[in-house]
Amino acid sequence: MDRIKISLDEKDLPRRWYNLAADLPSPPLPPVTPDGKPITPDMLAPVFPMNLIEQEVCARRWVDIPDEILQILAMWRPSPLYRARCLEKHLKTPARIYYKHEGLSPPGSHKPNTAVAQAWYNKQFGIKRLCTETGAGQWGSALAFACRLLGLECKVFMVRISFDQKPFRRLMMETWGAACTPSPSPETQAGRAILEKMPDTPGSLGIAISEAIEAAVTDPTGKSRYSLGSVLNHVLLHQTVIGLEAKKQLKKFGEKKVDAVIACAGGGSNFAGIALPFVADKIAGAQIDIIPVEPESCPTMTRAPYVYDHGDTARMTPLLPMHSLGHAFVPPPIHAGGLRYHGIAPLVSAGIRAGLITPRAYHQLRCYESAVLWARTEGFIPAPETSHAIACVIDEARKAAEEGKEKVILFNWSGHGLMDLSGYDAYFRGKLQDYSLPQEELDRSLAVLAGLPKPK
Amino acid sequence: MDRIKISLDEKDLPRRWYNLAADLPSPPLPPVTPDGKPITPDMLAPVFPMNLIEQEVCARRWVDIPDEILQILAMWRPSPLYRARCLEKHLKTPARIYYKHEGLSPPGSHKPNTAVAQAWYNKQFGIKRLCTETGAGQWGSALAFACRLLGLECKVFMVRISFDQKPFRRLMMETWGAACTPSPSPETQAGRAILEKMPDTPGSLGIAISEAIEAAVTDPTGKSRYSLGSVLNHVLLHQTVIGLEAKKQLKKFGEKKVDAVIACAGGGSNFAGIALPFVADKIAGAQIDIIPVEPESCPTMTRAPYVYDHGDTARMTPLLPMHSLGHAFVPPPIHAGGLRYHGIAPLVSAGIRAGLITPRAYHQLRCYESAVLWARTEGFIPAPETSHAIACVIDEARKAAEEGKEKVILFNWSGHGLMDLSGYDAYFRGKLQDYSLPQEELDRSLAVLAGLPKPK
């Protein structure tokens, strides 16, 4: 029998998260206000609990993971590291392809790695209720799950078109006891204002974020906070268990080095989770291609400038130093909902600027083609987001075959596609198409940045 | 940290399947023809390959698992054994509750344990294409997955009402490359005959079985066979990896004995998978309650007689010695589609007759209530079938609390409910009800057995 996976014991769970901020060639820029002043912890206090704000600005390389968080992560962690032998054979490649299977968690993706941590820190701080937004529903269901296990209330504003079209993700949230409301809703001022103007709007992630933040900060008890599923430093930090586990597992597979680390990237957290511990190795001198993959239709990393921009459409968040298509950018409705975001995490942006991280973009049809090939060789059906990483892995493996090189490729299989089969349906029936963002549309979208401070 | 799971390494996969037939107090009765003659292997040859027919009548205690089957099982096996600490805490029970998590396979249930084995034996025998039927779609998707990995064609006749109402399961099959046809279909004589009489019929498992067998036996190349996902001896045999793994894992948890082994039972294969290796211990003198759980609305084991009956509605199969509600019985449309079967595996029936196995029945609402409690304590969302086992586990754990006994309870968490959330939806919205089969209806249903041979 050829070994195809390493399942670590739960006693081998990493005890510390890795913080790339400590190792970057130059320290990360701070978030700022629209008039260019650095954001202070106090300014964030109504939105996030102080212990997470401290983590957000933490400069230490390693952060201890509290035992109670480890105890919950052990429900599905360490996640197995697989070797994709059937795909290798199909591609006739000398490359060895390894993947972290993050789809085995109860919500089916990497998202609960941070949802559990955030819920725990909020609970420690005395918070009783978390508010968030969700698009396709991966993040909302992960936070619903985490809040239920920790005894917090959970309120999710779900973009209305997804609420109507994806009842299964909503039902997951309800099964875990979360209150899930279609957004815009009459429950917030922001929602009511939109509904008055556009009663039939399908909603947007921007509107849903505004509603979630408003619901958190206006709770008269003061016991509600807001929770975000990607982009921020503390979210990326919580995901580094993925890469830290992968290092141990690669060693057990007998691998001494890695040539490429690949993951899809929307806000950047699943990519960061597997990649940041390897970025550290690269800073220390290792030769590794570290590749986040995004959709051609939402080319934040590959075509957008590095700027200061808001994290949300309604400009309620501070300005973050990041690659951004402009906070008003509305990506076309491709099926990888988790990759439809105008910005990308500041830490990932800093890594791109430093030349440590080299992003790529792929078209939707190539990704579905890769996803189906994956399912028919490796068995597990990937999420549309994950298929972006797979498309890139296949390219790298084919290149290795052409060059006759024994490359070691590691990637993050971020989640299963069982709640997203309507996208496969559309693909099989020829209803999907590719979309390249025209330069003039990108230019128009970037115009909203006029007058905002620039990163130095 | 308290240990919550044991993940064995793939080198610890069982190398042999366990065959209860070798240990039963009296040898199992053979299947017979309607005039009472034992079925010979030759009579089954057009339907199954000879190597599986041999396995069906095998009397050896242990059957070696071919390496190539182990290699594929290693994609998700050994499955972890979990301890349900959060549920225990919630119930304030001194019982220790363990469960085998069979929901982590690519199709999401225990079904591929036998699908892979059957596809492999068929391939060895030179077969190119497998035909089967599926109701809710768990079995059809498992066989589609297995056939794809082994390079066989797969043809699935899916009960038309499920085909229309459960597009996601159908899409899983298509993603793995299977041809999935709503049944009744114009592709078979059986299908055409039904469509002529009832063009708008929603279909039934009985009709779908007839179509699948016909499609297999009428293939002019002779390279098609039929495949069944439960009931038969060889299917149960393939599932025993579950119980064999569980024994090793319980030892690693430090357990020296088990007090109760519990699983839901439709055709009987997931129950048999975890239970049969423990039935062996019981025969050898151990005190264990071994409990298959069925729906009150389809009370095969708890209310139906032990008889000779056909496995399908259309009477194409031999007569099997088993508990049966009568082959024409149509169970009410409860959401646990996998438990809606009129019979139960002959091996399980023999165990019940011998007093080794003590079945119970539960109502649907209790099961959903238990499923939601499970999801809110242990995280993973169970299939409606699995929830029947959970309801019984909760009862046993509460009894242990009342009695102050440190019981060890093991059960089979047979699959996830992510493709079945519409059942949860109906439950949350108060649209489900319980149903007890009236005695006169049962009597009417059993009348079809008149004139058939009786087991001695």
Residue A315 has pLDDT above 90, yes or no: no
Looking at chain B, which residue has its C-alpha nearest residue A379? B106
Looking only at the bridges linking them, the beta strands covering B179-183 and B153-159 are parallel
Q: Which residues of A touch B1 (CB under 8 A)?
A: 10-11, 67, 70-71, 74
What's residue B201's pLDDT? 86
Identify whether the C-beta of residue A66 lies closer than 8 Å to the C-beta of residue A123. no
3-state secondary structure of A281: helix
pLDDT at B168: 92
Residue-level pLDDT at A74: 98
Reduce the DSSP state of residue B248 to 3 states and report it.
helix
Q: Is residue B266 part of a domain?
A: yes
Distance CA B404, CA A440 (A): 74
Q: Is the pLDDT of residue A20 over 90?
A: yes
Q: How close is the nearest chain B Cα to the Cα of A377, in Å?
A: 6
Whether the pLDDT of residue A162 is over 90: the answer is no
**What is the pLDDT, as a whole number, of residue A256?**
96
Does residue B53 come out as left (phi exceeding 0), alpha (psi in the -120 to 50 range) or beta?
alpha
Tens-place pLDDT, residues A97-134: 999 999 999 999 999 999 999 999 999 999 999 999 99
User: What is the token pair recorded at B321?
Assistant: 């010695």
Residues of A in contact with B418 (CB under 8 A): 108, 168, 172, 418-419
Chunk chain B into consecutive blocks of 10 residues (it has 456) and report each block's average pLDDT, rounded to whole numbers: 95 97 93 95 96 96 98 98 98 98 98 98 98 93 98 96 87 97 94 92 85 96 97 97 98 98 97 98 98 96 97 88 93 84 96 97 98 98 97 98 97 96 95 94 96 93
Q: Is residue B338 part of a domain?
A: yes
Q: Which pLDDT does position A202 carry in this prediction?
A: 85
Cα–Cα distance, B15 to A285 (Å, whole number):
45
What pLDDT is recorded for position A336?
Answer: 84
Would A136 be classed as within a structural domain? no
CA A95 from centre of chain: 27
Residues of A in contact with B377 (CB under 8 A): 149
The reply to whether B148 falls in a domain is: no
Q: What is the CATH number of the domain that holds A238?
A: 3.40.50.1100
Whether A87 is in a domain gets the answer yes
A215/chain B closest Cα distance in angstroms: 24
Task: Select from A171, A253, A368, A372 the residue whose CB has the most chain B CBs within 10 Å, as the one to mutate to test that interface.
Answer: A171
CA B424 to chain A, closest CA, distance in angstroms equals 7
Structure confidence at residue A331 (pLDDT): 83
Residue B120 placed within a domain: no
Structure confidence by residue, pLDDT tens digits, A316-353? 899 999 999 999 888 888 888 889 889 999 999 999 99
Q: Which range marks the domain in which residue A429 is found? A: 5-12+64-108+233-449
Name the pTM for this structure: 0.97
Of A26-30, A235-239, B117-121, the range with the lowest mean pLDDT is: A26-30
Mean pLDDT of chain A, nearest integer:
95
In a domain, B69, yes or no: yes
Residues A387-401: pLDDT tens digits?
Answer: 999 999 999 999 999
**Are A10 and B2 within 8 A, CB to CB?**
no
Kindly report, residue by residue over B337-378, the tens digit of the pLDDT: 889 889 999 999 999 999 999 999 999 999 999 999 999 999
Choose from A15, A75, A149 for mutation: most chain B CBs within 10 A: A75
Give the β-pairing of A319-323 and A306-310.
antiparallel
Residue A363 CB: number of other CB atoms within 10 A? Answer: 19
Q: What is the pLDDT of residue A293?
A: 98
pLDDT interval class at A65 (50, 70, 90)? very high
Q: How far apart are CA A448 and CA A444, in angstroms?
A: 8
In a domain, B27, yes or no: no
Domain count, chain A: 1
